[in-house]
Structure 1
């Protein structure tokens, strides 16, 4: 029996999970959980790199009996390595507001629509391409010293193995990757005046390996553990656990700090309509192409929960929130005359917030204050009590999902009948039921920890503990909790 270790890195927490098969049954054990925060440094927002890599190193040493390690993380952020192999500075966080400088520089060189056509990525100020252009403008000395650009999971891989590579799925989030040709876009590097030499060797998930024997972390060199480039982007890793690639009637919804809703497509969709709807294309395992939209997800919910706990001077359980929101939904539906299927879940859109509004994605957002200001500008009264803000956030999220579903159906000429919900948000029964009700789709919620499970799946596949992705997925799903919710018209 071989054990593998997955590091699943989210924007607010990092987990280490050991996975293995015992008597043919899939088993997991959480061996590390670390909350981490963005730090302010010299007027910029950066990740606590020393804290992150130190905790990962410690976890590996404590679990030295594993056969292989995989790493997945959020997208777009990166570190720069110089010719001597040193990390030049802590990676910036995508929530840093200086990246607008890079976006303006890009706009002076190329039209947004042309950038989208060449990359296929949703136009967002957080994108790697804008981050890199901002760095070149603000820190030209750092830019000139840089030899290689490593995305966050690839940067961890480098510290664990000494090898500088770029995994395909995480590079597909950069805005510098041609999703149609499935290769780094030399055209964009040239137009934007960026050094293509920064790009490391690009590899596909599961098709490379290196050992901790050559780690940058000295204490790991005494070990000889394979480190496998799994799908480095947590979304791509999570989608391995869904049926979307095989079922074109299905949408996926990865619901965490960010929400990503979309479907699998045969080739990247870079049409004008996709650009105008601010949709994106990214790659998954085996170069599978996914077409979806990034939306602010549970970030606002989590921020508000923390701020309300501080106000009340006590912890608030998710059960307490769910109970309140469920009753609030029922009350609102009754008031709206929505007891039947025809009007179920219908909302006055004016009473909702735009989850994509820039103010709601800020690191220092004061949620209640900003929601009140947003509604006041629309001439709408603020929620009646503190807990009603949770209802408003959930309903605003669901309304955005509905809009994106309709955009994707219009652009692709497809009609969806089902949705698979993964990520932490899938644990919320009231949210999953609301999605089924409002989007009129059958919803499958789970597996919940899909990013970590997809990571483990590819690592077990490399170790020949499972014969194929399908076999591994089946074994993992058999051991995972899944719930079903029916849309009213189905």
Structure 2
């Protein structure tokens, strides 16, 4: 290529967001953060919502800074976010209220009502999506069941990244990777499931056509350009589910590996060319869309959420502990002393996390962690062992051994967790890049510009561009014994 391509990735996480400029020279990509902001959901009345106007304001500030820093060389931008949530637009394109947060309680008890119309096994056969009450299908049916006036006034539904990009361009689309998180998409045809929509009385007209990663959605609207002093840059459909962008940036050199995208949620799985849908997979695995036509067969694991909630609680009490401090405390604590199941419903809601961890340990007859060090060590040990359990399940389902684990995302800055994951799984862990979601977002934009042709080329650029750390397994016998105790605790809760 004759000149450097400058692209903007705006990555919204469940607790914070940031804007990253990616400069691609044909061999390497260099990332530079230009804006960071908080994403704090709001309790209002009985609901939990996202503050969409504030988040859109932060998107505009990101574009303004991008345009100012890159001048006439600003080529494109793309937005990625968490999955499942959505906004509703009226016939004039106006937003009908702030989008609900996936942890809102409106879906309590809704799954059972859906299964009366569409049994759980049939819903999974049609969509391949793990049954979780946060899924779009359950959120949407809760509105149908409650005769929501907002839904009655809606002409279209847009998933969170598509909603941001609609207000930049005026163009509506349902990007494939984000749409696949909904429980409404047929993973074979990659189109909306007619049977799901009909059985649940969801109007097909609400849903936009599917658009695939690497396609140009449009250009910045003239009014947006004038407000932000920005040029005529493209808006691209990247893999707009943050997990899909992160997996696109896994620096794998073969197809035989497991990945963990580690953040508030941990997504652990494999890439597949076809859905894996059977009764065993239905228990806890999901088939979501990835880049380059791939499917991501994976489990949603409650990741660093437990640590984040403990830190938030301790910060409010004035502890001043950084994540680095927390890691150091845990490293000095007794290993494998007690366990929780990170995916237990007990840990779903915010607030009082330390007390809930202690109650779990007490209820299962374990040693109760009291100090901050003991609580943190309980969390990271349990998460590493949850990864081991998931690896066992994955290998059973795909039918072959996964010799290495690639960990990407902000969670790999917890070096203790990376090492414990290697110990627990007995597999080398290759950690990096930290900025996998932004890197994947940016490099899929480069595909839209015709500068990269395949997912393999993306991964070569990642290997060229970012440091990678390898962790080898240690203390195998001790961790095998700990794993057996962990499984006994999880079985006890399941009974």
TM-score (norm 2): 0.90
Q: Against the structure 1 CA distance between its residues 220 and 83, is the aligned structure 2 distance closer, same or farther, given a 3 Å change threshold? A: farther
Equivalent position of 1:391 in the other structure:
377
What CA distance in whole angstroms lies between the structure 2 residues aligned with 1:394 and 1:377?
A: 20
Report SS of the residue matched to 1:247.
Answer: coil
Which of 244, 260, 269 is matched with 1:253 structurally? 260
Q: How many equivalent pairs are there?
A: 467
Report SS of the residue matched to 1:30.
Answer: strand
Q: How does 1:443-462 map to 2 (within 5 A)?
A: 443-462=429-448
Residues 325-350 of structure 1: CA deviation (Å, up to 9, x unaligned): 2232xx43xxxxxxxxxxxxxx47xx
Q: Against the structure 1 CA distance between its residues 110 and 467, is the aligned structure 2 distance closer, same or farther, given a 3 Å change threshold? A: closer
Which of 82, 106, 113 is matched with 1:98 structurally? 106
Query: Given that residues 158 and 172 in structure 2 are in contact (C-alpha distance below 8 angstroms), is that contact kept between their aligned partners in structure 1?
Result: yes
Q: Against the structure 1 CA distance between its residues 397 and 272, is the aligned structure 2 distance closer, same or farther, given a 3 Å change threshold? A: same
Query: Given that residues 418 and 441 in structure 1 are in contact (C-alpha distance below 8 angstroms), is that contact kept between their aligned partners in structure 2?
Result: yes
What CA distance in whole angstroms lies between the structure 1 residues aligned with 2:315 and 2:40?
A: 18
Residues 173-198 of structure 1: CA deviation (Å, up to 9, x unaligned): 00001113322101100011111111
**RMSD of aligned Cα (Å):** 2.0
Residues 35-54 of structure 1: CA deviation (Å, up to 9, x unaligned): 11110122100001110001
Which of 418, 429, 453 is matched with 1:432 structurally? 418
Equivalent position of 2:491 in the other structure:
none
What CA distance in whole angstroms lies between the structure 2 residues aligned with 1:410 and 1:402?
A: 13
Equivalent position of 1:41 in the other structure:
44
Equivalent position of 1:358 in the other structure:
345
Which of 105, 119, 123 is matched with 2:131 structurally? 123
Query: Runs of 5+ in structure 1 lacking a partner?
Result: 333-346
What CA distance in whole angstroms lies between the structure 2 residues aligned with 1:355 and 1:467?
A: 39
Report SS of the residue matched to 2:268.
Answer: strand
Query: Runs of 5+ in structure 2 lacking a partner?
Result: 477-495
Equivalent position of 2:167 in the other structure:
159
Which of 250, 265, 273 is matched with 1:266 structurally? 273
What CA distance in whole angstroms lies between the structure 1 residues aligned with 2:113 and 2:225?
A: 37
Which of 9, 27, 52 is matched with 2:55 structurally? 52
Pairing 1:322–2:330 present: no
What CA distance in whole angstroms lies between the structure 2 residues aligned with 1:415 and 1:74?
A: 30
Residue 395 of structure 1 deviates from its aligned partner by 0.9
Which of 364, 372, 386 is matched with 2:358 structurally? 372
| Residue range with higher mean Cα deviation, 47-56 or 35-44 | 35-44
What CA distance in whole angstroms lies between the structure 1 residues aligned with 2:25 and 2:211?
A: 31
Residues 30-87 of structure 1: CA deviation (Å, up to 9, x unaligned): 1110011110122100001110001111221222232100111100000011111111
Query: Given that residues 214 and 221 in structure 1 are in contact (C-alpha distance below 8 angstroms), is that contact kept between their aligned partners in structure 2?
Result: no
Q: Against the structure 1 CA distance between its residues 217 and 97, is the aligned structure 2 distance closer, same or farther, given a 3 Å change threshold? A: farther
Residue 22 of structure 1 deviates from its aligned partner by 5.0
Equivalent position of 1:342 in the other structure:
none
Pairing 1:181–2:189 present: yes
Which of 218, 237, 246 is matched with 1:238 structurally? 246
